[in-house]
Amino acid sequence: MEIGIDSFASTGDLENPLDAEGNIRSMSDLLKRIEFADECGIDFFGIGEHHRKEFLDSATAVILAAAAARTKRIKLSSAVTVLSASDPVRVFQNFATLDIISGGRAEIIAGRGSFIEAFGLFGFKLEDYDALFDEKIDLLLKIRDNETITWSGKFRPSLVEQSIYPRPVQKKLPIWIGVGGTPESFIRAGLLGLPLMVAIIGGDIDRFKPLVDLYRKVGKEAGFGADVLRVGVHTLGYVADTKEKAIDDYYPGYAKTFTKIGRERGWPPVTKEHFLSQIGPAGAMLIGSPEEVALKIKRHNEVLGGITHISFQMDNAMLSPKHHLSSIELIGKKVKPLISTI
Task: Read off the pLDDT band of 267 (50, 70, 90).
Answer: confident
pLDDT at 229 over 90: yes
Separation of alpha carbons 69 and 232, rounded Å: 26
How far apart (Å, rounded) are the C-alpha atoms in residues 203 and 286? 12
Q: Examine the pLDDT at 228 and tell me if it is beyond 80.
A: yes
CA distances (Å), 215 to each of 45, 53, 111, 342, in order?
25, 35, 16, 21
User: Are 87 and 137 within 8 A, CB to CB?
Assistant: no
- The rounded distance, in Å, linking the Cα atoms of 254 and 271 is 10
Q: Per-residue pLDDT tens for 22-38? A: 899 999 999 999 999 99
pLDDT at 11: 84
The whole-number pLDDT of residue 158 equals 97
Q: Please state, as a whole number, how many other Cβ atoms lie within 10 Å of the Cβ of residue 202.
A: 15
143-185 pLDDT tens trace: 999 999 999 999 999 999 999 999 999 999 999 999 998 999 9
What's residue 14's pLDDT?
58
* pLDDT band at residue 246 using 50, 70 and 90 as cut-offs: very high
Q: What is the pLDDT of residues 33-91, one digit of tens each?
A: 999 999 999 999 999 999 988 899 999 999 999 999 999 999 999 999 999 999 999 99
Task: Please tell me the distance from the alpha carbon of residue 223 to that of residue 209, in angstroms, as a whole number.
Answer: 21
Model pLDDT, residue 141: 98
Q: Which residues pair with 162 in a beta bridge?
A: 149
Q: What are phi and psi of 229, to 5 degrees?
A: -85, 65
Percent of all residues in the chain with a pLDDT value above 90, rounded to a whole number: 84
Asked whether residue 9 carries a pLDDT value surpassing 70, the answer given is yes
Residue 178 has phi, psi (to 5 degrees) of -90, 130
Per residue in 269-287, pLDDT tens? 889 998 999 999 899 999 9
Give the mean model confidence (pLDDT) for residues 172-201.
Answer: 96
pLDDT score at 166: 98
pLDDT at residue 227 in the model: 94
pLDDT for 17 equals: 63
What is the rounded distance in angstroms from the CA atom of residue 163 to the CA atom of residue 147?
6
Whether the per-residue pLDDT at 13 is higher than 90: the answer is no
Ranked by mean pLDDT, the top range of 128-132, 255-259, 285-289 is 285-289
CATH node for 2-232+314-319: 3.20.20.30
> Is the pLDDT score of 126 beyond 90?
no
pLDDT band, very low/low/confident/very high, at 191 (cuts 50, 70, 90): very high
The pLDDT, as a whole number, for residue 260 is 84
Q: Which helix (H) or strand (E) holds 86?
A: none
Predicted local distance difference test score (pLDDT) of residue 263: 86
Q: What is residue 15's predicted lDDT score, i.e. its pLDDT?
A: 61
Q: What pTM did the predictor assign?
A: 0.95
161 — alpha (psi -120 to 50), left (phi > 0) or beta? left
Beta strands, E only, the chain = 2-7, 44-47, 75-78, 81-82, 106-111, 148-151, 159-163, 175-179, 196-200, 231-239, 286-288, 309-313
Closest CA to 165 of 103, 237, 222, 92: 92
Domain ranges of the chain: 2-232+314-319
Mean pLDDT of all residues belonging to the chain: 94
